[in-house]
Structures are given as C-alpha cells and as structure tokens.
Amino acid sequence: DDVPAEVVVVVDTSAGGDDTSRQLQLATAEAILRALSAEDRFALVSLDVEAKVLYPSEGLAAVGEDEITSALERLADHSTGGATDLATFFDVALGRLHDARQPAVIYVGDGHATSGDLTGDQLREGLRRALSTSPARLFTVGVGSDASHTLLEELARTGGGQSFRIDEASEATERALRLAAVIKTPTITSLELDLGPGHDDVFVSGGGKVSRG
C-alpha cells in the first residue's frame, strides 16, 4: 500500500544567484508541493546563513491549496541575503520528521556552500551523522545551469535518495512529479548486514536505505 509522504522542502535563499535563479527556485518549490498528494504532509524551510522553518509553525502541514499558498507566501516574503551554510539544514529539517513513516528532505538550490562546512567530505560526514538515527532520505534538486550538480548528487547518494536538475521553469512540473513518485517508492531503512567474523573492513556505499529496484 502507498504510505503518505512526509516531506520537508528546503529552499536556498542565500544572496548567491540573480533574480532569475530565485524565481526558478520558487517555481521549483511550488511544483514540488503541488506534486504531493492530499494525504501527504509537508514543511517549508529557508536556508542561508542558517536554516529556518517558514511553515508551519509546528510539526507538518496537510497538503491543501490554503496550506501551499501560505507556505509559498512566507517563502516569497523571506528576505534573501548572506552566505549558504548547507550543513545547518540537516538537523532543522529532521526535527520535523520524528516518527514519520515515509520521511524525506528535499533540498532546492544551487548547492554552493559559502560558509560553515565547505567541502564535500565535511558535508557528507555531517549528513551521515544527522541521518544515523533517522529513516529519512535526502533528495536534491540542482536549480540553474551553474548549480553544483556533482556535490548535490553525492549528498543525495549519501542520504539514500536521488538528485534531479532543473535548468528552466518549463521542466519544474515534470521533474517534481518524478521526484514525488520516487519519494513514495517503498524503501527499506536501517538496513544492516552481518558478514560474520573476519570481515572487519566493510566498504559501505549507502546509508542503510535501499529502495525497491
């Protein structure tokens, strides 16, 4: 049976990029929220020098026209500026997903870290720590032609999710529908393998999350 998705959408609102990039990120965030089903729930987070939950004030909101409109208005009103500390959104987003059955975090932005943990290794290690006690998966949507797609793909792989890219607003709806479908794909979480004695050095390429297929 389909399990309702519980999603935190994180939108990069730093000073990087121009007005066209910001409008593309807004369009992408809207497309993602509208691709969710009525039984799903969501929260919307802004990310610049710190991560801040814009909507709702507590927990997760039901997916409905009024809720989506309110969330997008908060996002449009949020002032842009400052650097991007990518690592700050991990714990903030996961804080809204306690006890969720099909939790997912979706980052929307260019993936350029300009403060805090700057290297891919630092960000991946921080993500691993944050997800070590959570069944949530991380999905990334690289927005714009200058997005750091390599880093975003690495973070999504570390987080047990997938990475998407959107270069033009016309692509947003189709990509968002694909993303929503992937989020709802049944996934085994907290997977552990016991290889028996003598196998002390095990190379792990994922975070204990395996999707169907």
160 contacts 140 by C-beta, under 8 angstroms:
no
pLDDT at position 192 is: 60
d(CA 103, CA 5): 6
- Cis peptide leading into 103, omega within 30 of 0? no
Question: For the segment 31-82, what is each residue's pLDDT rounded down to a tens digit?
Answer: 999 999 999 999 999 999 889 999 999 999 999 999 999 999 999 999 877 7
With tokens 């730093």, the residue in question is 14
Whole-number pLDDT of residue 145: 85
Checking if the pLDDT of 160 tops 70, the result is yes
Tracing tokens 């939790």 back to the chain, one arrives at 103
| Number of CB atoms found within 10 A of residue 163's CB | 23
| Pick from 184, 11, 207: nearest CA to 103 | 184
3-class DSSP state for residue 154? Answer: helix
Contact between 71 and 32 (Cβ < 8 Å):
no
Is the predicted pLDDT of residue 148 greater than 90, yes or no?
yes
- Distance (Å, rounded) from C-alpha 94 to C-alpha 200? 31
Nearest Cα residue to 169 out of 148, 143, 149: 143
